[in-house]
Amino acid sequence: MPISITNALKWLNGFTDYEKTTSYSYNAAYFDLKRMECLLNLLGAPHKRLPCIHITGTKGKGSTAYFASSILSAAGLKTGLYTSPHIISMNERIKIDGRDISSMKIAKLAPDLRVAVGKLVKTRFGQPTYFEVYTALAFLHFKRSNCRAVVLEVGMGGRLDATNVINPLVSVITPVSLDHVKELGETLAKIAGEKAGIIKRFVPCVIGRQEEAALRVILAKAKSTASRVIQFGKEFSISSLKASARGNIFNLSTPFASYKGLSIKMIGAHQTENAALAVCAAESALASLGLAERTERAVKDGISLVKLPGRLDYRPGHPALLLDAAHNEASAKVLRKAVKDFFPGKKLILVLGMSVNKDIEGVRKILFPLADKVIAVKSSNYRSASPEEVLGNYEGRAFQTVKEGMKEAWRLAGKNSLIVVTGSFYVLSDVYLSGGLNRH
């Protein structure tokens, strides 16, 4: 039966969203992959006939996913991309060749999905989660759109993630650091163990720069699954040629090829590493699909096109604006380095809002010493920490909304100022939606 766009979105958004609550346990009782597999099988198992690149990690997995999908699209493959979270709307999470799924398309797919969910709830698995339903929607959209390749970003962890129902062409693990410690574990080894859960038997695994504790766990899993390892610093390496606030130019050597003068628009040395991971993954995928001859041109064209909001998103001007979703100590260090490298001498006005389950003190100690002025804000998200909690014992101004905080930041900013907005995608979403990108 047809369904309106409004009713389709209302139905989809009515499922339990664990991204917006802290009152759950991250374990197989809550996140049962058999439930996800059952739901997909009720939809005709679209996930089993899609060639996929599967990406997890703590830092850079979203950027890596965008780079990889852009390469595959440049190679002439109709390519699906599934990422999270979004900034403005859920449609951003599901793309084909860079274009968001339309609300009309969601409404067309919703009836079949609703029938499948109706059957699922009558089984022992019960009601699916919000993320599971959207993941199923993504698979259904990609299959019915005849995608020839798909890039999937893990939502959280890996082992129990709803995306981990596939047997991909290649798995990718970006740098692992402490994040989601309540859910994934309080040590790098435990977190790496969850991330390594996406590694499948005989499937190649591309591994980004890792701390030793994480690397040991990942390599052990790869060995136990007889997976070919393509590791940063060993099987592939980067040499930087030029870095600026406008992007990076670098050389890359991989097991497949040697690339000279690759160019990306993304800021920061870490983005060259994300691009390199994506190149290695795309090389392996294209080789598996018998399309290796398309790789070199696709790599050069594909990575040069990627520019993402919320990842060191630089908006030049007087004052200038830099938006980045740094939400843990590791990502805060990346942001700090970018500010020091590319914006020396700027008066820094820091606007920070964070979720209650994040390492607020870790981010504070990295970013607050850089700032001339600190503005703490509370996003509209359910999990947002109070601005007073964000400030802690540090000096600064507290605002109960992002809009109010941005208004104050623009008031304080002079021509030589840099306004840095960070802490979470939810804060950035409020900035974009409230018109905070411009002085009022």
Whole-number Å distance between alpha carbons of 125 and 139 = 20
Handedness of CA 204, 210, 212, 217 (dihedral sign): negative
Residue 207, SS3 per DSSP: strand
Whole-number Å distance between alpha carbons of 295 and 302 = 10
Under-50 pLDDT residues of the chain: 22-24
The structure tokens listed for 133 are 């339903």
Whole-number Å distance between alpha carbons of 12 and 404 = 31
Amino acid, single-letter form, for residue 29? A
Q: Count other Cβ atoms within 10 Å, centred on residue 147.
A: 22
| Domain covering 313-434: architecture | Alpha-Beta Complex (3.90)
For the chain, which residues make up each domain, given as ranges? 5-304, 313-434
**Cα dihedral 104→110→112→113 (10° resolution):** 140
Residue 108 makes CB contacts below 8 A (sequence gap 6+) with none
Whole-number Å distance between alpha carbons of 178 and 362 = 10
CATH pick for 5-304 out of 3.40.50.2020, 3.30.70.1560, 3.90.1150.10, 3.40.1190.10: 3.40.1190.10
Handedness of CA 307, 368, 366, 362 (dihedral sign): negative
pLDDT tens-digit series, residues 221-248: 999 999 999 999 999 999 999 999 889 9
Q: Order the strands of the 79-82 sheet from edge to edge.
A: 99-100, 94-96, 79-82, 149-153, 52-56, 170-173, 205-207, 229-231
Are 19 and 130 in contact by the 8 Å Cβ rule? The answer is: yes
Span between the terminal Cα atoms of the chain, in Å: 47
Are 121 and 127 in contact by the 8 Å Cβ rule? The answer is: yes
Whole-number Å distance between alpha carbons of 367 and 338 = 12
- What pLDDT does residue 183 have? 59
Q: Count other Cβ atoms within 10 Å, centred on residue 121.
A: 11
Whole-number Å distance between alpha carbons of 81 and 322 = 26
Q: What pTM was estimated for this model as a whole?
A: 0.90
- What pLDDT does residue 381 have? 85
Residue in the structure block whose two tokens are 């699209």: 73
pLDDT tens-digit series, residues 377-408: 999 888 899 999 999 999 999 999 999 999 99
